[in-house]
A and B are shown apart, each in its own frame.
Chain A
Amino acid sequence: MKKRALRAAFPHTVPVMTGYLFLGAAYGMYLRASGFSFWYPLLMAVTIFGGSLEFLAVSLLLAPFAPLATFFMALLIQARHLFYGVAMLEKYKGLGWLRPYLIFGLTDETFSVAATAEPPANVDRGWFLFFITLLDHSYWVTGALLGNLAGSLIPFDLAGLDFVMTAMFTVIFLEQWKKDRQHLSACVGLLCTLASLLIFGRDSFLLPAMGGILALLALLRKPIQKAGEAP
């Protein structure tokens, strides 16, 4: 049963594998260049498992100790995960002891795959979701370790490979667009974030964008629900 779930889950994680191995390696190299041994990427990749915060954590580790600021900055950066939880409330119901790990591993990329991928009929849904999360987690840890230990050995220039994440979110956006009967929510997400980026700049646009998305989805609830009903 587990083997079948693993085999069904793997193809869905290939784009994440490419992106995580590359970004993880970049992260490991960044830590090495900042003077940290492989224990640091190993510990952080396993326990935090969240790329953008882990990159920031490196500069926090190099700065004077500031626990309160660290905690609040981490909360702000990770706040977008609140959305993923709300979106996965129903899907992650009734999965027993696998559930805490699924929630722990709910990164941007894992969320995207777990929210859209459907297991084949003969595959257990819980184990399918578990292996998606576990595979993603292991790609990230492997990438971080490889980058830290062997980063200087890579003979070719991989600049631009991180675009695979942008491409993945774009393709998943298109798939979700096909699945949704209404497209207002997709437009709200795209335009609201874009507007917020233009107004607040790239360092502080995400929270206002999330607030705006919530407000607009609440305001537009009637038309969205009406448009989403089966004809």
Chain B
Amino acid sequence: MSVTEARPGATAARGGRRGQGPGGRRRLGAGGRRALALGLQVGPATAFVAFFLLAPLVVFFLYSLWRVRDYEIVAEWNLDAYKQALTDDSYRRLLWNTIKIAGGASLLSAGLAFAFAHTLRFKLRRWQEPLLFAVVIAMFSGYLVRVYAWRTLLGDSGIVNSALRGLGITSEPLSFLLFNRGAAIVVLANFLIPLAVLPVYAALQNVRDAEIEAARDLGCGSWGTFWRVTAPLAWPGIFFSWALAFLAAAGDYVVPQLVGGANGTMVGVVITDTFQTDYNFPRGAALAFTTLLVSLTIIGIVRFVGGKVLR
């Protein structure tokens, strides 16, 4: 299998680059041998990620600058796909919708994750480990499941609507529960919250009791302590959680496809279509990189502003 074949080769290349042929190894000093050993240890993983992630991303980026002709990708350099992604009305609406949904879902996720981690850290200390573990289990339990189950939960003949009808509260199913932007945000949050909890929790561990007490002793109220001590100390973790959730949401395909409906559609669906049905790789690649660039810009702005405000 080519996966395993790639590894020893890559390792040898790495050792070779250091100018140590099989014969030269004995002449190495202790330092050189140590460096070689470390290189051999970190080499395979590094080479693997470089070859199977960075190289693909580079090819993917090149595609965004090329053109499709007769169902073949030809290396004719152009920016048409980007121009289309940024100027075409339907793509602009799509991008804007994606940002709104990813923004809503990531804020909801990071907010709830922070509230959860804060509750664990300050209110339910004795239960921190089991409760955190519950979230970790949620993190590893079914990405696809967490999305499609909402159809059974919220669909027209789903659990919520059946219960409402059974109790005589409604006679017609509430169809606004699914297939719209709000549903997309809630379902995205459902699988993003566990991802967002861990970084925030880790950041809150850096807030020591002594620091909180010092702020109290110096006359800070609960709010003052929160804004001046807890929030600035936890900010890097909060920011990381939010940014991770934002990127994951902006690049999601399953949620808009399965529960987003007409106004809950996102870039991911269109990118997938361009790859799977249109075979227009340049357009899909340009859309993906435009989304990535816009997302990273927003994340950069939030980081800058957040760092200024929470000092």
A in complex with B: no
